[in-house]
Structure 1
């Protein structure tokens, strides 16, 4: 037990809890507590949730969105006769979402690293052209 006669070392327990390196039962056992006691203290004191994300990887999300858009565009292009307004509208919405993500990513990049933004804009234009061709049939 890491605590002494005064009780558990809640600062150390919180650090372990928010660090996510151990499970709650492991933390509890190491500090001589029951898992429910650790969970209760975390809830009452407002510790960071164990399932929250600390930082979003926008570049990874943008890459996944491009991949998803590309696969869906290929599917729609291959089944051009079956593509309806619903599919084209979905692709348009996805392209707008992607555009917003790219704008966020570009705004956060230092000015000297924004050359990649031109590449992203070219890809975005290419996707927009493909969607326009689909709309026209």
Structure 2
């Protein structure tokens, strides 16, 4: 690109959003500085190159739910391994935070909210049953 031409921001944005090229490579190809690109990206609120918000939320939900499933499995294990009071409280806190996250994300998308809620109800019922059994000992 010659010095008198303005950068082709549409092409730069397309490369930013749809290619696996590094920022350095994109900047070199289009003749802009990294600072210029980042300024434009912030000003125009381009989406993150790593992932969208929904993808990150889904990944977080999946990770938290996996931890919850492992802990409930440990509670219900036939080998007699149980959670201590501290672990039980941590599990309750994780469940509460997971429910808050599911509720907050439900405001953005009604079609995805029922799944976590239903899963959480099942998980809560299993946990409550196991805690009741534990308190009887």
Q: What TM-score bracket applies, with the shorter chain setting the length?
A: 0.5 to 0.7
CA positional deviation for 1:24:
1.8
Q: What is the total number of aligned residue pairs between the two structures?
A: 127
**Which 5+ residue runs of structure 1 have no aligned equivalent?**
none
RMSD in angstroms over aligned alpha carbons? 3.5
Q: Which residue of 2 aligns with 1:79?
A: 81
**Which 5+ residue runs of structure 2 have no aligned equivalent?**
none
CA contact (8 A) 2:23 2:34 kept: yes
TM-score by length of 2: 0.63
Q: Which residue of 2 aligns with 1:54?
A: 52
Structure 1's 4 and 131: CA in aligned 2 closer, same or farther, altered over 3 A?
A: farther
Question: 1: distance between equivalents of 2:134 and 2:50?
Answer: 40
Q: Which residue of 2 aligns with 1:125?
A: 124
Q: Which residue of 2 aligns with 1:100?
A: 100
User: Structure with the greater relative contact order (CA < 8 A, sep ≥ 6): 1 or 2?
Assistant: 1
Structure 1's 79 and 64: CA in aligned 2 closer, same or farther, altered over 3 A?
A: same
